[in-house]
Amino acid sequence: MAAPFTVQPSAKLIGSVDGHRDWDSGLFGCFSDCKSLIMTYCCLPCAICNISSRTGECMCMPWFVPGGLIALRARIRTLGGVR
């Protein structure tokens, strides 16, 4: 018989949340990172998998978990401290 768990796993957070900030990129702020812009334009699924893995999630989570894209968006906003 297996022993019961006495310690729960802690939440995995990539960075600290330093307060809150408002969204501050301008209308053409997407042009500041041309590599990501071109990757997103040419292959949206590849870009979403890349973003998911950079936040510490499984690459397939946004596609195979119901509501995965919304959860990924919430995680990015939480890590960035965006309201």
Q: What pLDDT does 34 receive?
A: 86
Do 71 and 50 contact (CB within 8 A), yes or no?
Answer: no
Q: What pLDDT does 46 receive?
A: 92
- Measured CA to CA, the distance from residue 23 to residue 81 in angstroms comes to 9
Q: Residue 42 pLDDT more than 90? A: yes
The angle formed by the CA atoms of residues 13, 19 and 22, to the nearest 5 degrees, is 110
Q: What pLDDT does 12 receive?
A: 54
DSSP class of residue 19 equals S
- Measured CA to CA, the distance from residue 75 to residue 12 in angstroms comes to 11
**pLDDT tens-digit series, residues 49-77:** 998 998 888 898 888 999 999 999 988 88
**Residue 82 phi/psi, 5° resolution?**
-85, 130
